[in-house]
Amino acid sequence: MTEFIVESACAVAEIELAEQKEFTLPPAQWQAFLAALDKPTEYNPALHRLLTEPSAIELANKK
């Protein structure tokens, strides 16, 4: 992918996500959502690796 395409996709994604400011849930689902937020985190090796290793895009940009 070219740098232009990656930058364009990121810009569009940022705009779309910025517009998602509010969502509603029925009361039971809202309580489940709050419980999930309050639940202690568990270590996830795959997620740790995903968030700490350079992405394919970052590696391509280093070349």
Domain limits of the chain?
A: 23-63
* Calpha distance 17→25 (Å, rounded): 19
* Calpha distance 38→49 (Å, rounded): 24
CB 61 within 8 A of CB 10: no
Task: Name the token pair of 61.
Answer: 């940009």
Other C-beta atoms closer than 10 Å to the C-beta of 6 total: 13
Q: In this predicted structure, what is the pLDDT of residue 20?
A: 78
Helical residues (DSSP H) of 1-63, grouped into ranges:
3-18, 27-38, 45-52, 56-62
Digit-by-digit pLDDT tens for the chain (63 residues) are 688 888 889 888 888 888 877 878 999 999 999 999 999 999 999 999 988 998 888 888 887
Q: In this predicted structure, what is the pLDDT of residue 21?
A: 77
